[in-house]
Amino acid sequence: MLKFISLITNKIQNNKTKKNKIPSNKKNVTKNKLSPKKSNNVLNKPLNSKLFRLILISIIILLFIGFIGLNTYVDAYAKTYIRIYYKTQKISINRVLSFNINDNKLKTTELTLEDAFDLEYNATGEKIKGSKATGKVAIFNSTDKEIRLPINTKIKCVSSLCAGLEYILLSEVKVSGFSSQGEIKIEASEISEKYNIPAGARFSVGSYDHINEVFLTNTTSITGGTKAEKVKIITQQDIENALKNIEESLKTQILTKIKTNKNYTNTYLIAENTFRLEIIDSNINKKAEDESETFNIRMNAKGIIKAFEKNQFNDIKNDLIKQRLPKSYIWDGNKENFIVNVVGSETDSVAIEFRINGIAQPQIDKKQIANRIKSKNINEAKEVLDKLEYLERYEIDLEVSNLPFWFHRISNDEKNIIIVIIPIE
């Protein structure tokens, strides 16, 4: 370029030298002398020619400089915008894996929580309250054989004033043949005022004939019988049922508190089936057979449950995802939904369900694409993009699209190639 400019400058200088040269003799001057009009045309002709050449050369120089400048701009500064559209793939994983708790592959801990429960329960037992009538009788044996009557032997009144009422002997009785015995204590068989009778009533015992063989009679009045009254009492079954009920209530209460405690649930995966309850102490304000319609129980207990640190399942999750990913695809962690639950547990093992939902997208290297298409024209760049896998479509926008077509090429600087990745779900 410099040689070209120097050549043009020398040419112009030579023309100036010829113009200013003075003729050496008068003869030559006289010979070329022309009329004024003709002389001006001859002189202007070389002047116009020189000016035209000068202008043309200047234009060429300016065009060349402009061409160089535009090329430099396209290569170094002009932006190229490329939008790449690709189709994502939805991936859904639902797997249940079993783990041995004792093989140390899982980090296991025990969470504990103490709580108390205080409840009032209704008594269900009943008893008849009152006093039984008591008195004394004498026995007469008209047979020739000894009679032996054990304690609690029943005797039955046969007199009209107490016919059918039964009493029991409060002591053992032995009576020889053809003899009698007095001062034998008796008690009514049930609570009632009707067992209060005056002296002189006649009683039979067993299968003996009360007229000809054996009979009893009260020598004094039988008294003390009161009206029967039903009252509620606490039974042993009531207490056992209440203890079982409050224990179940404590289990539910403690387990619910553990499951809703964010300090636990954010860090641990809880194996609900491993929950157990340890009773610290219990207090019952009344005892069995007490007369009462209600009773209270207070129980303190500690809940214990096995739990697993959640972060240890991330590696398992990543392995499950890797197994399902198509070739050349990567996992979009920003659109991931990961749920892990314990679905079964025993003393030595636990079954854990992994539910994973998310989006997989092609692994697109923007820097590599930019390096492969830099300095290429549009058609060459399209050939490169057409070979990309999993590509749905693409768009190319040149910042120099308004310039002549020979400037339509990708920048030589990767920094000026702006690639935008757009997913299509």
Write 373-380 long-range contacts (CB < 8 A, 24+). Answer: 373/82, 373/410, 373/417, 374/410, 374/411, 374/412, 374/413, 374/414, 374/417, 375/75, 375/409, 375/410, 375/411, 375/412, 376/409, 376/410, 377/408, 377/409, 377/410, 378/408, 378/409
pLDDT for 137-178, tens place per residue? Answer: 999 999 999 999 999 999 999 999 899 999 999 999 999 999
- Residues contacting residue 269 through CB under 8 Å, at least 6 positions apart: 307, 308, 309, 310, 313, 340, 341, 342, 352
Per-residue pLDDT, 239: 95
Tell me what the mean pLDDT of segment 112-127 comes to. 94
Per-residue pLDDT, 80: 84
pLDDT at position 11 over 70: no
Q: What's the pTM?
A: 0.53
- Max CA separation in the chain (angstroms): 212
Q: What is the CATH number of domain 108-124+233-308?
A: 3.30.110
Per-residue pLDDT, 88: 85
Calculate the alpha carbon distances from 345 to 99, 174, 230, 262, 341 in Å.
Answer: 9, 71, 51, 22, 11
Residue spans per domain, the chain: 2-73, 108-124+233-308, 131-227
pLDDT at position 107 over 90: no
pLDDT for 338-386, tens place per residue? Answer: 999 888 887 788 899 999 999 998 888 888 888 888 888 888 888 888 8
Q: What is the CATH number of domain 131-227?
A: 2.40.30
DSSP letters, 160-209, are GGGTT-EEEESS-EEE-TTEEEEEEEEEESS--GGG-B-TT-EEEETT--
pLDDT at position 333 over 50: yes
d(CA 355, CA 338): 6
What b-and-e string marks burial along 28-45, b requiring 16 or more CB atoms within 10 Å of the CB? Answer: eeeeeeeeeeeeeeeeee
